[in-house]
Amino acid sequence: MAAVQDAEGWPWWRGAAIYQIYPRSFQDSNGDGVGDLQGITQRLPYVADLGVDAIWISPFFTSPMRDFGYDISDFCGVDPIFGTLADFDALVAQAHRLGLKVLIDQVYAHSSDLHPWFAESRNSTANLRADWYVWADPGQDGTPPNNWQSVFGGPAWTWDARRGQYYLHTFLKEQPQLNLHKLEVQDALLEVGRFWLERGVDGFRLDALNHGMADPALRDNPAAPADDGKRRSRPFDFQIRLHSQSQPEMVYFAERIRGLADRYGAIFTMAEIGGDNASEEMKAFTLGNHRLNSAYGFDFLYSPELTPGLVASAMQEWPGDAGEGWPSWAFENHDAPRAVSRWHAGDSAARFARMKLALLLSLRGNPILYQGEELGLEQDEIPFERLRDPEAIANWPLTLSRDGARTPFPWTDHPLAGFTTGEPWLPVGAGNRGRAAGLQQGDPHSTLATARSLLALRKAAPELRYGGFELLHATGELLVFRRSLGQRQILCAFNFGSADAAIEYWAADCTALISVNGATGRVLPALSAWIGEEASRTGPSG
């Protein structure tokens, strides 16, 4: 199949703005309190009007929902709570009519313990799928085979009496680890990918990909050094995950995924990569033209503050050298607390949300907006008795609070937020109902209007979508950089602080393209951004 290119000759995904939809919480079409595929289809015109290029839909596959869809019991099925395969096909068709590409999650590191593969594997040590998962004998005293710890707390090993061995699970015990060292397992997962490609999807977000292989020798992980007295709430954080994840052989499976995608044209493949060496691994997974197209890590997702130095450090890792992959960036997602609450809650939260959007949509790479980020949503506070997330319950009160970022999308300021006619699976707070899309619609000064303007500018300006990145200033609270493509230049300036900042020195030869929160080419007020077109000159290209 021929690769799909845009008017500039790049593949469609290069620099594309991606909108993440968490299906449980986007729109409920049948009143059961849980969002579904028909609900997403119903709201696609809103997403298209934002000006994004693609949607990424978090898991909607058949699942017992122990980890809300990331524990999959049928990789090629739609869970009834979300609808049917026909509903998914209708969603893809409507998205394509509206000019939106469709990305879906692929979870290749583990399955549900209710998956037929695991049911067969656990039956004996001599069946056809006996080694499709990671099994190990106990120690002489019956303890687990090594010291590896689960992300959600406790050992990463669970005893299975039927088989008489332990099985590995990086996350919940209901999420046994697939053995991706085995080619038959890789082949089976590639057939899953092929199934969805045949249904018209345009790309994959590959969940926790560097967890897909563990050290076959099962060596103990070394202890992590103390982190300046910072309290660690999970045993997982006491180790350097040297042997339990991030095995170098995983890049060869990534090459196989890319090979499959290439047979369907410009299919976008983007890995989620976390861990102590995320930057190095992201580059390895995206090196050259035979591995994945892009990767994103946790540079911003869990950072306690947003600073010019943090942005400069993250961008420095991706200078655009020959053979280098293409980065993607997320400030928020379904696994991390809302960025406004992490970085700037309070009376000026709306100003900060608009400035933050300007920054995300100006960076070199693919920006990923999480549903509601365009509204400036903050973290909802969920009382313990309403928590659904197993991580939050296990680590209460020192939790990542994923539930607070997964609450229903506020379409209106009604108590049910226009999301459902029933009892929503998670409550949506009054504060976020006050930021509802319906309230912001038509307000030229709203965060939603700012998001639309910024997305339109990114789509119209190839410098922002494809161009190189040149850091000009990242001291104190002021960040200034240049995006360049050939002789075309765009200057991007941001004030993270509470006092005015002068930028006339950099912006003297610029024509304003967009102003956020009252910024000019001379002065940036507190929490503002200014983007202007510079006089033509030779600069770095993408």
Check which CATH number belongs to the domain holding 494 and give it.
Answer: 2.60.40.1180
382 and 292 in a single domain? The answer is yes
pTM equals 0.96
> Among the options 6, 67, 207, 281, which is catalytic?
207
Does 474 lie in the same domain as 336?
no
Omega into 397 within 30° of 0, i.e. cis? Answer: yes
Q: What is the pLDDT of residue 538?
A: 46
Residue 390 located in a structural domain? yes
Give yes or no: residues 201 and 282 share one domain.
Answer: yes
In a domain, 130, yes or no: no
Residue 191 is a catalytic residue: no
Among residues 454, 483, 503, which one ends one of the domains?
Answer: 454
* Residue 224 contacts residue 237 (beta carbons within 8 Å): yes
Same domain, 488 and 357: no
In a domain, 142, yes or no: no
Burial of residue 194 (CB within 10 Å: 0-12, 13-18, 19+) is middle
Q: What is the DSSP letter of 121?
A: H
Among residues 454, 479, 510, the one where a domain terminates is 454
From start to end of 44-193, where are the E strands? 54-57, 61-62, 74-78, 101-106, 135-136, 157-160, 165-168
Assess contact for 66 and 165: CB atoms under 8 A: no
317 with 450, same domain: the answer is: yes
**Is 385 marked active-site?**
no
Same domain, 478 and 505: yes
344 and 385 within one domain = yes
The count of domains in the chain is 2
- In the three-class reduction of DSSP (H, G, I as helix; E, B as strand; rest coil), residue 260 is classed as helix
Q: In a structure prediction context, what are the per-residue pLDDT tens digits for the chain, which is 542 residues long?
A: 545 555 568 999 999 999 999 999 999 999 999 999 999 999 999 999 999 999 999 999 999 999 999 999 999 999 999 999 999 999 999 999 999 999 999 999 999 999 999 999 999 999 999 999 999 999 999 999 999 999 988 999 999 999 999 999 999 999 999 999 999 999 999 999 999 999 999 999 999 999 999 999 999 999 999 876 677 878 999 999 999 999 999 999 999 999 999 999 989 999 999 888 899 999 999 999 999 999 999 999 999 999 999 999 999 999 999 999 999 999 999 999 999 999 997 889 999 999 999 999 999 999 999 999 999 999 999 989 999 988 888 878 877 779 999 999 999 999 999 999 999 999 999 999 999 999 999 999 999 999 999 999 999 999 999 999 999 999 999 999 999 999 999 999 999 999 999 999 999 999 999 999 999 999 999 999 999 999 865 445 55
Let me know whether 513 and 450 are in one domain: no
Q: Is residue 175 part of a domain?
A: no
DSSP letters of 491-523? EEEEE-SSS-EE-HHHHTTEEEEEEETT--SSE
The two structure tokens encoding residue 409: 């999308």
Based on the number of CB atoms within 10 Å of its own CB, is 286 exposed (0-12), middle (13-18) or buried (19 or more)?
buried
Q: Are residues 387 and 478 in the same domain?
A: no
Say if 9 falls within a structural domain: no
- Domain annotation covers residue 260: yes
Per-residue model confidence (pLDDT) at position 6: 58
Distance CA 151, CA 237 (A): 8
Task: Say if residue 330 is in the same domain as residue 421.
Answer: yes
* 191 Ramachandran zone, left/alpha/beta (phi>0; psi -120 to 50): alpha
Spatial CA neighbour of 306 closest among 354, 344, 333, 361? 344
What SS3 string covers 371-390? CCHHHCCCCCCCCHHHCCCH
CATH classification at residue 53: 3.20.20.80
Residue 48 tokens read as 């298209």
Point out the domain boundary residue: 421, 454, 487: 454
Catalytic residue, candidates 79, 113, 174, 272 = 272
Question: Could you give the C-alpha distances from 66 to 6, 173, 290, in angstroms and in order?
Answer: 41, 10, 35
Question: Which pLDDT value is given to residue 93?
Answer: 98
Residue with tokens 């849980």: 34
Residue 490 near residue 468 (C-beta atoms within 8 A): no
Residues 396 and 512 in one domain: no
Tell me if 275 is assigned to some domain: yes
Go through the chain and tell me how many residues it has.
542
Q: Which residue has the tokens 């995950």?
A: 241
353 within domain boundaries:
yes
Domain that holds residue 321: 18-111+181-454
Residues 416 and 474 in one domain: no
Whole-Å CA distances, 274 to 259, 295, 331, 467? 24, 10, 14, 26
